[in-house]
Every structure is written in C-alpha cells, then in structure tokens.
Structure 1
C-alpha cells in the first residue's frame, strides 16, 4: 500500500491509475453479484430490443415514404385538374379524379396499415425496454452518493471524504486555519465535497458565479432618396438610392459561469502569501527559440531579484527554471517559501507543469493565503463532480458497466491532478491527527455550503422569482428547529428585463442625420425567498419514523422528499 505521495506524476502512472481501474471494475462487479442481475438474460432482452428498434425504424421510414408518395399523387391530381379546367370543358374534370381516386384510396389503406404496424412495433419496444429496466432494477437501486468517495479513498488511503459538508468541518477550517468560508462575491455553491487530505481538511467545490458584464446591441434603418443625375445624353433623370444605416450601443448584461476549485488547510508556512497562474513557458520544448524565451524570462527574474528598495520581498531561487515556470513572484516570505518548496518539491512541481500526457500540464491557478491553499485547475471545469446515483441507472448492463468505469476513472484522474500540486509539496505530507469536529449536535449538522448545494439540486425553478429571465443565485440561511431539523430560507436573486429602444443619430448618404433605432433589454433586480426543510439521515430504523414525521407535520409528503448524500430535504409549500 502507498501512503505518502511524494512523486504524484510517477506514482499515478506506475500505480494509482491501474489501481483505480481495478478497484472501480471490482466494485461494479461486486454490485452486480449483490444485485443478482442475470447478465445473459439482460443481454438477450437488449438484443431483442435492438432488433425491434431496427424494425420500428424501418417501419417509420417506410411510412414516411408512403406519405410522401401520397402527397405527390395529390399534387399531381390537383395540377391535372387545374390543367383540364383551363383547357377543356368541365365534364373532363372527372377523368383525373377517376384516375387518382383509386390510387389515393389504396395509398390511404397502405399508410394506415403501415402506421398500425409502426405503433405495434413501438409498443413492443416499450414493453421490451420496460422488461430490461425491470431486470436492472436491483442493480440500479444499489447506486448511492458515496461510491465516488469510497473508490477514491480505496485507491489513495490518504484521502477521506465526509458524508456531507458539516458545520464541524467548516468550524475546523475557520478556527484552526483562519478561513472565513465566504467566497466574497455573487456566488452560489452548486456542489461540494469535503474531507481530509493527509489529515488536513479540504473542499472540492463547484460554484455558479455572477457578475454584471456588458452586451452590444445592434440596430439598422433602411433609407432611400432620389437625385437628379445628368445622363450621357445630357438630359437629367431621377435616380433612387438605397442605404442601410447601422448603429450599436453597449448596455449592462448579467453573466454567469461555473468555477471549480479546491480549498486545503495546512499549518505549514503559516505566514506565506503567494499566487501563480498558468505559464506559457511550461509548454515550451528544448528548441533554440524555446530556450531563448525561457532564458529571457529567467533574466527578468534575476533582474527583479537584484532590485533593492523598501518592501522588496523577492529573491530568485537557485532553480531558475522552477521560479520562471511556477512564477510566484508576489510571495511575501522567502524563508517560508523555500521551506515549502524544497528541491524535491521544485522537481516534482516542474514535472507536473511540463507534463502533457499523463496529467493535464500547467493548467492550474494556485494561491496560498497563510494556512489556506486554493487550487483552481482548468481541467476540472467540465468534470462532473456530483456522482448522482441516477446518472448510473441503465436498462443495459453492458452500457452501465462501461459508463460506471469511464465516469469514475475520469473523475479520479481529474481530481488527482487537481490536488497533485498539493501532493508535490513534501511538507504537506506530514500527518496531523483529526480534530474532534463532531463533538456536539451543531457541529454534526450540514453547513450553509451544503444547503446551497441542496437548493441548487432541487433546481432554480423551485425558488426563482416569476419575473426572472436569467439564472438565479441561491443563498441560504438556516435555523435549527426543536425536532433537530433545519429550516433553510433560500433566497433566489436574479433579473427581470424590459425592452427599451435608443435612437442613435447616424449620417446617411443623403447628407442628413437619421435616428437609427437600437432595441435592448434593461435588467432589473428581482428576488424571492422560499423555505426548505433539511434533516440528516441516521442509519437507524427509528430515524425513518422521525424523518417521516418531521416532513409530514410541515405539509410535505415524505415520499416526495429528496435523499441526497445522507441528507433528506424538501421545498416547503408556500
């Protein structure tokens, strides 16, 4: 078993990648055995379903072409009737009608029979698909929210995930590491994992971020004018000119984006502050011009290091390449920076920055604020970090197996290289015993980050203002009721809009100024609040009755409550 991870790149390639593939595959096969699903029977059912789907597709195509042929016959009949009406006496109209009527009657019967056949095949497909779903139901019921965390922890024992983000974990980050827990902007938590990495707390989070940007609106106006122009014959004649005048204006526009980042608390180098962003130098090879660019960057660092003056904090390190590629030149404490980035740490960090095959290369921002480290890896933006059980539900065992393995192996690679910059620092590998973060009832309750994630899981539509035409930022505030449940007030902030028009003066070819209309949307704040009940689920049969009572006495059918990561929740009726 590998405990400490001092060489994250090599250890992933040599051990963790294969280990996680094996662990994931074994876990899925254990679920299959536990479920009792008959793989051969399911494969036969799915094969029969595919044959029916193929037949239904053929019947649909045939029905379509028969209908096209009927349309052509009708069009030909109408054309013939018009032609006869124009060139012959009216009794002759009976001729094309008499010819086309039997054909149309026959086509109608064929299309009707074809449609009936198609419906029969579609019903057979639905029945066979339902049979396949029934075969897979025992396996689908076994997927839960904790599988992703269990698999990661089995592969890398130094990582342990919490069942949910609790007040205790938030208090630990605040009290022991000085983190406020506030993101400092218009942001809402979409999903978050919390846990410990080498005994120190971490958070993996995805947020919805809002800011007021701008949008350019365009408008146009068609104008025309006449001019008297002398022709080649010496006479004047009138010419009409046309022109499209265009104008644009810029107005405020609400914008939204997702961010995925990792927060890590560690007591090492407690006074150190620095930040770094991805560097283009990391992608350079060893060619002449690439070496020239690196040397130029190193020269700049050396010049900066030689600069003297009040407030000077930067001193270039002996490993010039590391300093140039990591580029944390805003650091405030050289001694603690060197304590953190030992020669081994520099070497391993350089490997991560320059690698483009095993991992993701230099794609991360990294900032340290005293005892809080924040890593924002670009490669994690598209990574699905939720692991909702429903996404693994399938009616075909072979497809479920392929998706399960692909999802968890992709997640592990993405998350592993998200924390790899932290693993590359040996000082962070020192084990710190767990704090007793669940020492009281309040500490064991889910925290406001988890509440925001739960609200977003229910969906913005459950909380948004009826006039809102944009995304909504959901923020929460909770209080604990007498029965131990938390009543969470969810406030959804978004924007309504009204159409406006501005007239922009534009000079036309006629020598006059014209007012070009530009239509745009003015956005105004809208806000609405609703309540949600949240309660942590205990693994006891007695708790089931308490849960049912807690929801039903608040006017919520317990069957309609949502179980998510050991937490049951529901939006309360207005």
Structure 2
C-alpha cells in the first residue's frame, strides 16, 4: 500500500531528498551500463582533448602576440621612413628599409608557421572531440522526455505523470471539477505536464503571458544663447550660455513574462473560495519587535472577525498565527475552510511557510475556486521544467553524470515544494477521483495545451509574422484526420513597430520655449498563421513506415519531424 504524505517538510528532509538522489544516481548508472560506454576510454579521450584544447589555446595566443609585434614593427618602419624623408635626402630611405624589412619578413615566416601549427592543433582538437561524441553516442540516444516524471513517481508514488496532456485529462478537469481550461488572458502554453496527485488530476504549466504596458522615452536638445554682461570695469562683454533641454513621453509598450503554476482538481470543500499571497510575516523570528508585528496582524484579524455587517464571512480561527501567516481572509465558507485546514493541516502549512532552509518558505500564491486549486510558487519561475533530452547530451561522461544528477535533484525539490501546500492538507488525500479518462479515441488525443507547448518547442520563428519585432503569442486550433493524425493551425500574434517623433515644448534658460524631439516606437498588431501536423505514438509504438507515410503525404520529410513526449510533429510547408 502506498502511504499518503501528511508531513511534507519532514518527509522530504528525512526520506524523499535522499531517496531521489539515490534513484537518480541509480537510473543514470543503469543508462551507462545499458549503453555499453567504456568510461575509462572516455576519460582518456577527454584528457587528450583537454590537452589539445590547452595547446590550441596557447598556439592561438602566441600567434596573436606575433601579429601584434609585426604591427608594431611595421608602424616603427613607417615612422622611421617618415622621419628620414623629412630630415635627409631620399636615398637615406634605404637605411630604415634595410633594417626593418628583414625583420618583417622573418615575422611573416614565424606567423605563417604558427598559424599552420594552430590549424593542425585545432583539427586534432576537433577530431578528438568528435571521437568523444562518438563514444557517447549510444548513451546520448537513451535519453527521452519522461525521465524526470519516472524518477519523481519512483520517489513519491502518490505522483504520476501522463505521457502527454490529453483531451481525456482536460475533459476530466472540466466535467468532474468544473474547470474551463481557459486561463482567461492573452497567453501561450510554453510547457505543460499533466498527471494525478493522490488520484486527482493536476497540471504543471509554464505560460508566456502578454499585456500592454508602457515605456518612457527620453529626448534632448542642446541650445545656446548669448547675453551682454557688464563686468567689474563697467564694460559690457558677450557671454555664451549652453543648456541641454530634456523631455520624456510615455507610450504603450508590449510586455511579456513567464508564469509557472500548478492546477489541481479535488472534490473536497466544493463550495469554498479563497486566495492568499506570500506574507512577510512568515520571515519573522521570535524577537521582541517581530512578535509585536505578528501580534499587530493578529489583532487586525480579530477586529475583522468581530466586525458585523451584510456579507460578513470571516471568522478568525483559534490558531491565530496560522490565520495571520496564511492570510486567506477573503474565504467565503468558514465551515468548509475548517474542514480543509484541520489542526494538522494548519501545523504543516505553518512549517512550510516558516521554513526556508529545507524548502523555499512563503513564496507561493494559493487560490481555491470551488474544486479547482491553483498554486503559483515563485521559486519555480527559475526551474527548468521542460526536460528536453538534448540538454543531457554530452561528450564527457563525468560531466553528463554531474549535470544529470544536479538537474533532477533541482527539479524534484522545486516541484515537490510547489505541490507541498496541497500535500499539507490531509483531506485532499482522502478524496480520490476514479474517472476513466481514456474511454475513447478522442480522449487519448493530445489537447490544445499540449499543441501550444509543441508549437513553442518548434519556436516562434516558425510561425511569426515577418514584420513582428516582439515575442509572439502562439494559439492553436486542431482537426483530426482519418489516419489518426491532427492538423493544427498555429496563429502567432505579435507586434510590428514604426518609428515616431514627438516634439515636446520645454522652456529654456534663454526665456524661450523649444521643441525637444523625443523618438519613440509605435507598435501595431500583426498576425500570421501556419500549420503543423502531429501524431501521438500508440502505447505499442507506431512503426517508422506508418509515421513516415503520415508526414510525407503532407509534403514533410519524416527526418525533419521532432518527437516530444510521445508525440511526433512537424511544421507544414507554407
């Protein structure tokens, strides 16, 4: 039987951290054995490569200094000839020529020889690096998109990831938990993972969000004027004054940012609504002034709880510290809030909020909208959650081992403490969904979130408008074909720009107003659409001939298709 996680902080420190390190290390060593790579031979090859790199670097530096010396000698020759031409008859020009030309000739020979030596070393270095890549090729081929998910599930069996985000998972969130799947803004899915936590669906996603902000543009104008000034001797003289006038204007400017968040569906407390943001109170210690600040916050909560009036919903809990630090005072249902946040849940949530050594402390936003929970941990903004196989490719096994272990330890810690606020609520582990999300062909197809992530993996450049000078927000719409593939229309929305000049009236020291030019960019919307074709690989695996037919009958070379999380895709020719 798989145990629930009721003490997320202690269990990570005492069990999961070490277990994941061991699981990750064991998995890597299994890949090494499976690949058949000779580590000792790779070590020797890399050592030889480093020696060649060092020699090539030294030869490059030597060649550079010889060329500098040649330049100095040529400059000295020209100066000497100029001096002789100015001071002596022209036959004397033969003297500096006879002195310096042999030196320049000798330097040219040395430089050419050192350049040949440098080319030989660079060729040997490149060949040795290619040899190292060849040694590691069987190993590099073993990486796939699901390694991070498998490692996390092995460490915490209550977590399970899907091969990709399917229509079935999306329909479960819509039909069973009331989530629309629409984030309600102008954004594109960069990465998405779906799965189950304690039998209930979750999504880990990163989006590119766009909004129209503003930018301040600055301009300047130099002016001058003369004045008649009377001196101490009683005479007038003319003085010239200089001044730089400055002006600024604010204009609309498209802005972009990434957001990383977790969506979790659970039937517990189905009518409850609340939201909370990180509180600086969580960072306070037990000193006199810190206790005073906490007490002041608690008194405000008690006053709010005593206030009566129409629409009053807040009643302070007996654990005042939890109420002050969690600060979900906009909750609408006190009974369900207390069912969710039992004394044990309050205790574990406080541990998460106050700890910043094992975990990340109070850095997360948490909102509940009926049966949908959204957690946005600030620390995950910096975490690479893509897990692309190519990032683990290396020609040095020792480096690959270090990077692999560090990446997966960082990913696990970041994701674990991203979901830790959900793990801290025991009631969430008692309500488990039993929906059959793979009941038909439609359910097994990838959903539009996955399509946006695939489009972004291909890159904005494949879809953006030729005049676009900003990021592009990619949105998709799909239709299924008889061969099991999907044709996806990708629409890229961005902005082109036109340079403008505004003139701002600024009064100068000369007593006159001057028109100061301020250059700025006016942004206008541009859109462009292109098509992708994609096909999910079946559990048994589609043979290469079947997949090749799907793509080549649409004019795409199969070798140019990419595989991402059990989905093969390609951008169709325009």
TM range (shorter): over 0.9
Q: Is the 8 A contact 1:537 1:543 kept in 2?
A: no
SS at match of 2:318: coil
Q: How far apart are 1:435 and its partner, in Å?
A: 1.4
TM-score, normalising length: structure 2: 0.99
Alpha carbons of 1:280 and 1:493: their partners in 2 closer, same or farther (altered >3 Å)? same
Q: Superposed, which structure 2 residues align to 1:54-73 within 5 Å?
A: 54-73=54-73
**Who is 2:88 aligned against?**
88
**Who is 1:569 aligned against?**
569
Q: Superposed, which structure 2 residues align to 1:392-431 within 5 Å?
A: 392-430=392-430
Unaligned runs of 5+ in 2: none
Q: How far apart are 1:544 and its partner, in Å?
A: 2.7
**Who is 2:107 aligned against?**
107
SS at match of 1:242: strand
Q: How far apart are 1:459 and its partner, in Å?
A: 0.1
**Who is 1:247 aligned against?**
247
Q: Distance in 2 between matches of 1:412 and 1:431?
A: 24
Q: Distance in 1 between matches of 2:416 and 2:126?
A: 41
The yes-or-no answer on 1:524 pairing with 2:498 is no
The yes-or-no answer on 1:488 pairing with 2:484 is no
* C-alpha distance after superposition, 1:475-506 (max 9, x if no partner): 00001012111100000000000000000000
Q: How far apart are 1:543 and its partner, in Å?
A: 3.8
**Who is 1:295 aligned against?**
295
The yes-or-no answer on 1:76 pairing with 2:76 is yes
Unaligned runs of 5+ in 1: none
* C-alpha distance after superposition, 1:49-92 (max 9, x if no partner): 00000001110110111011101101111111111111111111
Q: Distance in 1 between matches of 2:64 and 2:466?
A: 42
* C-alpha distance after superposition, 1:372-427 (max 9, x if no partner): 00000000001000100000000000000000000000000000000000000000
Q: Is the 8 A contact 2:501 2:519 kept in 1?
A: yes
**Who is 1:363 aligned against?**
363
Q: How far apart are 1:433 and its partner, in Å?
A: 4.7
Alpha carbons of 1:427 and 1:15: their partners in 2 closer, same or farther (altered >3 Å)? same
Q: Distance in 2 between matches of 1:23 and 1:289?
A: 45
The yes-or-no answer on 1:459 pairing with 2:453 is no
Q: Is the 8 A contact 2:267 2:431 kept in 1?
A: no
Q: How far apart are 1:282 and its partner, in Å?
A: 0.1
SS at match of 1:381: helix
**Who is 2:478 aligned against?**
478
Q: Superposed, which structure 2 residues align to 1:186-205 within 5 Å?
A: 186-205=186-205
Q: Distance in 2 between matches of 1:281 and 1:18?
A: 31
Q: How far apart are 1:97 and its partner, in Å?
A: 1.1
Q: Is the 8 A contact 1:478 1:487 kept in 2?
A: yes
* Equivalences, count: 574
Q: How far apart are 1:545 and its partner, in Å?
A: 2.0
Q: How far apart are 1:542 and its partner, in Å?
A: 5.3
Q: Is the 8 A contact 2:266 2:431 kept in 1?
A: no
**Who is 1:281 aligned against?**
281
* 437-446 vs 233-242, greater mean Cα deviation: 233-242
Q: Is the 8 A contact 2:268 2:431 kept in 1?
A: no
Q: Is the 8 A contact 2:298 2:320 kept in 1?
A: yes
Q: Alpha carbon RMSD of aligned pairs, Å?
A: 0.8
Q: Distance in 2 between matches of 1:405 and 1:260?
A: 23
Q: Distance in 2 between matches of 1:543 and 1:331?
A: 54
TM-score, normalising length: structure 1: 0.99
**Who is 2:225 aligned against?**
225
* C-alpha distance after superposition, 1:526-563 (max 9, x if no partner): 00000100110124465432211110000000010011
**Who is 2:514 aligned against?**
514
* C-alpha distance after superposition, 1:451-491 (max 9, x if no partner): 00000000000000000000000000001012111100000
Q: Distance in 2 between matches of 1:501 and 1:226?
A: 29
Q: Distance in 2 between matches of 1:211 and 1:59?
A: 52
**Who is 2:266 aligned against?**
266
Q: Distance in 2 between matches of 1:542 and 1:127?
A: 37
Alpha carbons of 1:64 and 1:542: their partners in 2 closer, same or farther (altered >3 Å)? closer
* 85-94 vs 467-476, greater mean Cα deviation: 85-94
